[in-house]
Chains A and B, each alone.
Chain A
Amino acid sequence: MVVSLDIDRTDESAVRPAWQRARAFFSTPPGRLVAWLGILGLLGLLVGTWGLARKAVVFGLAEEAPLALAAVGFALLYRLTGIINVAYSETVTLGAYFGMWFNTTFGWNFYLSLIPAALGAGVVSVITYFAFFRPAHRRSVGVVEVIILSFGLSIVLRYGLQLIFGHEQRYFKVPFQNPIRILGLGVPPFRVTALAGVIAGALILYWFIQKTRLGIQIRALAGDEKLAQVSGINPLAVTVLIWFIAGLAGGAAGAFYGVGATARPLLGWSKFLYILLAVLVGGAKGLRGVIIAGLGMGVLLSGLTLAIKGQGLYSEILVVVLFIVILKLRGNRMSEAAKV
């Protein structure tokens, strides 16, 4: 009796995943034709439903642009330190509250109050690192346990805010301005500047992490303390910097959300699932992917809300399900993918 294994290279492998087969198909001439037809079809759809698509893009970007900024901050933390920080949602909330506080109590201009909002959230983010995540890392608490820990922290902060500020929604004091017309639609100027600010902020972060020397060092050394020490870089300083930058992004996003609507204790938590989905779905392609996924999600949310008249909840359900399906189809390739 002979038991044997026969390894043969000539056959097509049967285990290639669907996305790989799809990619191979799209690089063949007929595949290319299909791809172009698909793109043309999408453009046709855009033109055909221009009334809706126009609104979806303008309102979606104007309202949900902070999502992209918040997602970039979360992605930095996740990709560089490996921590899923549920309490990041409260960083966003705190940004809104800090901004509102300076804006209403001290009468600061909204743009000026962005600075304390971002700085305050950044400082809180660093404090949570020293108080909870650093001790957890030192005691080598497991991955799932760190998620639970951050969940507990998120609860404490959220209900703490509720205890202090109550359930009521608080508004920024901003002077009324005439809407700016974009693509024939009126958009409040604050939304437009928020969009511009968010895009600028996200791009600055992207440039800082991807292009500057310090950013490259951060990427190379994050998480590898020994290597960092050999290179003469203080790993603690790098980690603190990452937490601070993530907090800045979250806080600014929160302030933008806050001025667009209201500051309330549940603000960050209501956005957390979308932030997480944008990071997981877009994260495989680096920060650029996160920004695109965040903005795309905003456009999709408002587009679906407009298409299914008046039912915002349906669009949220659809977007969550859609992104989860994308995540599943793509498979769990996060660990293989390059760092940010």
Chain B
Amino acid sequence: MKSFDGRVVVDVDDLILGSNPVEGLIGPNGAGKTTLMRMIMHSVRLDQGTVTFHPGGGSSSVVISSLPAHAMASLGVVKTNQVIQDFEKLTIWDSLLLAAARGRDERPFRIFAEKRVWAQNTAEIKRYLDEFPFASPYGFAKSAGEKKLLDILRCLLLRPKILLLDEPTAGLPADVRDRVMALVRQKAVDEYVSVVIVEHDLNVIWALSDYVHFMAEGSVVLQGDPAWIREHETVVEKYLGKGHVGR
């Protein structure tokens, strides 16, 4: 639960995210979708309640709401950013290597670790860069689209177990968006990454997700198959509006 200035923004009773390969989280503006994501990632402090992470595969569950923010990524809980975030002075390769490098190689006296980090990660990074060409990969991300894409690629390089995508398509060109979504879908199906997408572009949600949570005024009011949610009267009224009926 989270409230700002006494106004409850998010009040979720008991929500389980990630039981399906790709889940959508939708709702009108101000429903608390982004706040919910931030609560999970600790950028917003919980007033009450806990977030528990079940890694699956026999590993024991972890209460992540009591961990420091940097501990999430190593557990496999990763979120892309809604607002563009970048390291101004780091190149695209730098950014990707930073995400891929392990903490062991980043200690103050590991001053000869650079070669190993390149050797270990070049193949994987090259694969992503071949799939999504940047204008100058040894240079800096210039356009907003490049920065957004870089943000998503960084998150993928963290090898997430559960990946929260906060409006991933905003700012991406249509063809790049489609390829990113295909890659995400493939990760979810082939590599068992649980993906949760917050998105305004409902076409992405309908096309991609296996299950949809619908949020309004801070709580999850509906859950179900995309087709069922789509037909549901509340959604149509509250979110899609009259103009969207029948789309």
Contact = CB atoms under 8 A, between A and B. Distances in A.
A16 B46 CA distance: 8
Contacts of B223: none
Interface stretch (A2-10, A87-95, A295-303): A2-10
A198 B162 CA distance: 59
Interface string B38-66: 01101001111111111111000101111
Given A8-B49, A8-B50, A15 B16 contact: no
A1 interface: yes
Contacts, number: 95
Interface in B74-130: 76-77
Contacts of A16: 45
Contact of A13 (B19, B48, B52, B55): B48
A292 B147 CA distance: 47
Contacts of A3: 18, 54-56, 76, 161-162, 192-194
Contact of B17 (A5, A9, A11): A5
Contacts of A17: 45
B95 to A, nearest CB: 21
A2 B42 contact: no
A6 to B, nearest CB: 4
B16 A4 contact: yes
Contacts of A5: 16-18, 40, 51-54, 64, 77, 162, 196
A15 B19 contact: no
Given A3-B192, A4-B17, A4-B19, A15 B46 contact: yes
Contact of A9 (B40, B49, B57, B193): B49
A123 to B, nearest CB: 38
Given A5-B51, A6-B52, A10-B49, 20 more contacts: A4-B54, A4-B194, A5-B17, A5-B54, A6-B14, A6-B16, A6-B54, A7-B14, A7-B16, A7-B39, A7-B51, A8-B51, A9-B12, A9-B14, A11-B49, A11-B50, A13-B46, A14-B65, A15-B65, A16-B45
Interface of B: 1, 11-19, 36, 39-40, 42, 45-57, 61, 63-66, 76-77, 161-162, 192-194, 196
